[in-house]
Amino acid sequence: MTVEEFYAAVGGDYEGVLGRLRSEERLRKFAVKFLSDPSYEKLCEALKSENYEDAFRAAHTLKGVCQNLGFTRLYESSSVLTEALRDGEGHYGAGMLEQVERDYREMVEAVRMLQSENEN
């Protein structure tokens, strides 16, 4: 799978990210680094403990990482959740979190496939 095929499969912004990073090698490198980003885990932990200020920060960070990497679907769902958490009061709907979870799982699976094909 080429990086361009990966971005097409995940509905990402290949052209935009390629314009910033200038090579498929760098795109692949940074896409794979996404797997080690702790933002999603921090978001889940903060929501579980009802620490909405930390949850906002984690959602905001996840949104930014996804925007920079051109992971459009996860960027959009994390953006909605970020705005719902902005006031620090936890005014988010379960559907918002479920969408972020679904988009995150799909992105991780796709990135792992990209990573494994690079290792073979």
At 25-46, the pLDDT tens digits run 999 999 999 999 999 999 999 9
Q: How confident is the model at residue 97 (pLDDT cuts 50, 70, 90)?
A: very high
Whether residue 47 is predicted with pLDDT greater than 90 in this model: the reply is yes
For the question of whether the overall pTM of this predicted structure is more than 0.85, the answer is: yes
CATH number assigned to the domain with residue range 3-119, chosen from the 4 options 1.20.120.160, 1.10.10.10, 3.40.190.10, 3.10.580.10? 1.20.120.160
Helices vs. strands in the chain: H and E counts, helices first: 7, 0
Whether residue 91 is predicted with pLDDT greater than 90 in this model: the reply is no
C-alpha distances in angstroms, 63 versus 57, 60, 72, 117? 10, 5, 10, 26
